Chain A
Amino acid sequence: MTASAAPAGAPRAGVLELRGISKRYRGAPRDAVAELSLTVPAGAVCVLIGPSGCGKTTALKMVNRLIEPSSGEILIDGVSVRDRRPADLRREIGYVIQQVGLLPHLTVFANIATVPKLLGWPKDRIRTRADELMRLIGLEPEEYAHRYPAELSGGQQQRVGLARALAADPPVMLMDEPFSAVDPITRERLQNDFLRLHRQVPKTVVFVSHDIDEAVKMADLVAVMDGGRLIQCAPPAELLSAPANSFVADFVGADRTLKGLSLVRLEDLELAPAPLVAEGTPAESVRERIAAGALRPLEDAVLVTDERGRPRYWRAMDRLGEPAGTARVEPVLDRVTTLRDALAALFEAGAAYGVVVDGDGACVGLVGVDAITGSLRGPVARSEAA
């Protein structure tokens, strides 16, 4: 990441430890959370998952003290959250909830600026940070900074919710089913954006979900809960290959092989090179490059890109040089897309190949259905280097 990305200095991530925390609500027959112990390493994403009422949200809210545990201790970088004033503690913990909860009377900018303002940042630093975050979540500041939440789509609102939570560069993020209130396509996009962001700015994340596919896709660690207890806490691959008991096995589901596709991302595959041609390149020089072996058309077509390398349209060789059509390239897949989502997108579009792009939308290669199904045969390890 660039030096300007974090005016606060290097991005921070904290170690989060839950030590035997229990919570019993008044008048309840049993503990909502019972003796939960869990360590989330700095920069890791831990997904708490389980059936409704399993205590996952209660566990999450005890971290920022929206709920106080009946017993046990929660430490962030070795400091007990109980020793902090709740408001101060919460300003250092990003919080994203399902219903977003943007302040409806404040603009997008003011929403993102909330915590930096509480922390007393100078105005120009807040401005810079908000602009940077808005670009990071794909909302142009010039266009969106002064809009009100009601003027945004559900997906855009949750992006702002994410930016708001990241604003003060908190070492820990809590996310309570953040993507479950949007449609599946938006959800997948938000998940990918989050993964991309997380890679750029690693945070220690506790993420509550009821969706095992989401958990497998997002998590470094999956903590399966039931009846307030932790049943199994393991990396997703281990959860899929070695469920601790029949409850976890049932929860994970029968299609474990297929779910394994969620463990691998497009960037983990060897992508086929795309026959890229910059828009406006004379047909003559395209043919020369092909003749020289520098460019290999796919099914007798080349992929025309704009000046920033972003795919615009496929163009058949015999129609080179004709004006741009309106046909869009489908599907275009972010490189962090899981193979499972990529396969679904390819089937959806009825395409043999998808165009893989990086975070800026520039084409980095092609992926075919064969490459994805082929990865099922060989053992695939999730890239640790990422």
Chain B
Amino acid sequence: MPEIRWDWIERHTDDIVRATVAHLEITAVSVVAAVAIAIPLGILVRGRRVAFAGAAGTADVLYTIPSIALFSFLVPFTGIGNLPAVIGLIAYALTMLIRNTVVGLRSVPAAVREAAAGMGLTPRQILLRVELPLAVPSIMAGVRLATVSTVGIATIAVFVGGDGLGELILLDGIQRQLFLTPILVGTVLATALAIVLDALLVLAERLLTPWTRARAAL
């Protein structure tokens, strides 16, 4: 294994921090926007077979487009920078989020739904107070998947002029005759970011769903 150039890391600490923060921003914006689109969309299509098939199918097709290609297609419309990357990342995240939202909403037991309606909750109250809370574990599973994969794919933003850890990997590493240190730094940080974000999401889910840890204590 070639030697790691610690002195390079030392001299570029500022760049590394900036790239990491930028990466985090791109990821956060993409995932939050995807959640903001997927949950209302999931609610809209949850009871409609055709609409759900259409939405999930479209998202699936988008997911199959290679990321470099997808980002590049967007450049003529958006110009270069973070925007084409973020739009592409939102599209990818939607696949997991729409499916998991609908699956979560549909997982509410019929008896729970019937009891809720029978007690006089309006359809809107059933959605907000029963269906959505009970869909949280499934939605959070989607958010975790989307976040981890977004952290990974976001390294490609650099190809369309975006920021993030891809800068270290591509600009400082690959384009300078495979200078290994920045490639390693970028990769390790991306992985660490994914692990930390995933752990935070697990924590958030635990706080949001205390009932899932309730066991029959008999």
Q: Which residues of A contact B (CB under 8 A)?
A: 64, 66, 86-93, 95, 97-106, 114-115, 118, 147-153, 161, 164, 174
Interface residues on B, range: 20 to 34
Flag if B121 contacts A118 (CB, 8 Å). Answer: yes
- Segment of B60-68, B148-156, B209-217 in the binding face: B209-217
Against A, the Cβ 8 Å flags (1 = close, 0 = not) of B118-131 are 11111001000110
> What is the CA–CA distance of A95 and B111 in the complex, to the nearest angstrom?
12
Flag if A151 contacts B114 (CB, 8 Å). Answer: no
Report B-chain residues with C-beta under 8 Å of the C-beta of A153.
216, 218
Flag if A95 contacts B118 (CB, 8 Å). Answer: yes
> What is the CA–CA distance of A104 and B119 in the complex, to the nearest angstrom?
15
Flag if A97 contacts B216 (CB, 8 Å). Answer: no
Report A-chain residues with C-beta under 8 Å of the C-beta of B122.
87
Report A-chain residues with C-beta under 8 Å of the C-beta of B117.
66, 90
- B27 CB to closest chain A CB (Å) equals 29
Q: Choose one: B112, B114, B129, B210; the contact of A66 (CB below 8 Å).
A: B114
Given contacts A99-B111, A147-B214, A105 and B134 within 8 Å (CB-CB): yes
| B115 at interface, CB cutoff 8 A | yes
Given contacts A151-B214, A151-B216, A87 and B120 within 8 Å (CB-CB): yes
* B118 nearest CB neighbor, chain A only: A95
Report B-chain residues with C-beta under 8 Å of the C-beta of A95.
115, 118-119
From residue 27 to 73 of chain B, which have CB atoms closer than 8 A to chain A? none
| B81 at interface, CB cutoff 8 A | no
Q: Choose one: A90, A101, A148, A151; the contact of B120 (CB below 8 Å).
A: A90
| B76 at interface, CB cutoff 8 A | no
Flag if A100 contacts B111 (CB, 8 Å). Answer: yes
Given contacts A95-B115, A100-B115, A101-B115, A150 and B120 within 8 Å (CB-CB): no
Flag if A118 contacts B214 (CB, 8 Å). Answer: no
Report A-chain residues with C-beta under 8 Å of the C-beta of B2.
none
* A167 nearest CB neighbor, chain B only: B119
- B3 CB to closest chain A CB (Å) equals 54
> What is the CA–CA distance of A153 and B215 in the complex, to the nearest angstrom?
11
- A325 CB to closest chain B CB (Å) equals 27
- A31 CB to closest chain B CB (Å) equals 23
* A86 nearest CB neighbor, chain B only: B120
Given contacts A95-B119, A115-B119, A101 and B211 within 8 Å (CB-CB): no
> What is the CA–CA distance of A152 and B109 in the complex, to the nearest angstrom?
18
* B217 nearest CB neighbor, chain A only: A151
Report A-chain residues with C-beta under 8 Å of the C-beta of B130.
103, 105
Report A-chain residues with C-beta under 8 Å of the C-beta of B211.
104-106, 148, 150
Report B-chain residues with C-beta under 8 Å of the C-beta of A103.
112, 115-116, 129-130
A-B contact pairs, 14 of them (CB 8 A): A86-B120, A89-B120, A90-B118, A95-B119, A97-B118, A99-B109, A101-B111, A101-B115, A103-B115, A105-B133, A148-B210, A148-B211, A151-B216, A164-B119
- B199 CB to closest chain A CB (Å) equals 23
- A148 CB to closest chain B CB (Å) equals 4
> What is the CA–CA distance of A153 and B216 in the complex, to the nearest angstrom?
7
* 7 nearest CB pairs, A to B: A101-B115, A91-B120, A99-B111, A95-B118, A90-B120, A148-B214, A101-B111
Report A-chain residues with C-beta under 8 Å of the C-beta of B112.
101-104
